[in-house]
Amino acid sequence: MDEPEAALSPIRQLSMLARMNELLEQGSQFIISTHSPLIMAHPNAKIMKLTESGMTEVKLEDTDHYSIMRQFFEDKDQLLHHLFQ
């Protein structure tokens, strides 16, 4: 799947995760290209980061997407202040 979150609200992304989990229990596999920390948060996800030197496995907390969302929720005013300067 290529960026399935593009058309999904956060609650729908969570619903998608629940359905994916049902399918995983039946033996399905998924390859997903995403920017969504919600989708990457699946407990069995193997997150691969593509760089100029190849692919490396990373933890959710080490992705840029997670870091930006964490910054926003921890101190959105400061993040927005720097963004709008």
State the amino acid at position 46 in one-letter form. K
Enumerate long-range contacts of 41-46, CB under 8 Å, 24 or more apart.
41/17, 42/17
The model's pLDDT over 17-71, given as tens digits with 9 standing for 90+, comes to 999 999 999 999 999 999 999 999 999 999 999 889 999 999 999 999 999 999 9
Q: What is the pLDDT of residue 37?
A: 95
Residue (of 25, 67, 64) closest to 42 by Cα position: 25
Residue (of 45, 43, 50, 42) closest to 13 by Cα position: 42
Q: Can you give the pTM of this predicted structure?
A: 0.84
Q: What is the pLDDT of residue 80?
A: 94
State how many domains the chain has: 1
Query: By residue range, what is the domain housing residue 24?
Result: 4-83
Q: What is the pLDDT of residue 56?
A: 95
Q: What is the pLDDT of residue 31?
A: 96
Query: What mean pLDDT is predicted for residues 4-10?
Result: 94
Q: Is beta strand 54-58 parallel, antiparallel or unpaired with respect to 47-51?
A: antiparallel
